[in-house]
Amino acid sequence: HIMDFVETMADEIVFLLEGDIYFRGTVDELKKKSDRNDLEHAIATLLSEKE
C-alpha cells in the first residue's frame, strides 16, 4: 500500500491546499495533530478539518 511506503520512506510530508502549505511535518506529527494512529486516517482527518 502506498501509505505504508510513504510512512517508512518520508522524513517529512507537506500538504498544499489552494497553493498554500496546509501542513508540514513528520508522519508522527501529523498523527498527533489528527489524533489518529494510522497515516491514511490521519490524512483524511486533516483534510476534513478544512471543509
**What pLDDT, on a 0 to 100 scale, did the predictor assign at position 51?**
67
* pLDDT for res 50: 75
Q: What pLDDT, on the 0 to 100 scale, is given for residue 12?
A: 95
CA dist list (Å): 37 to 7, 13, 17, 31: 12, 16, 23, 6
The domain in which residue 15 lies consists of 2-50
Q: Which residues pair with 16 in a beta bridge?
A: 21
| Domains contained in the chain, number | 1
What pLDDT is attached to residue 4? 87
Who's near 14: CB < 8 A, 6+ residues apart? 21, 23, 24
The residue ranges of the chain whose pLDDT is under 50 are none
| pTM listed for this prediction | 0.79
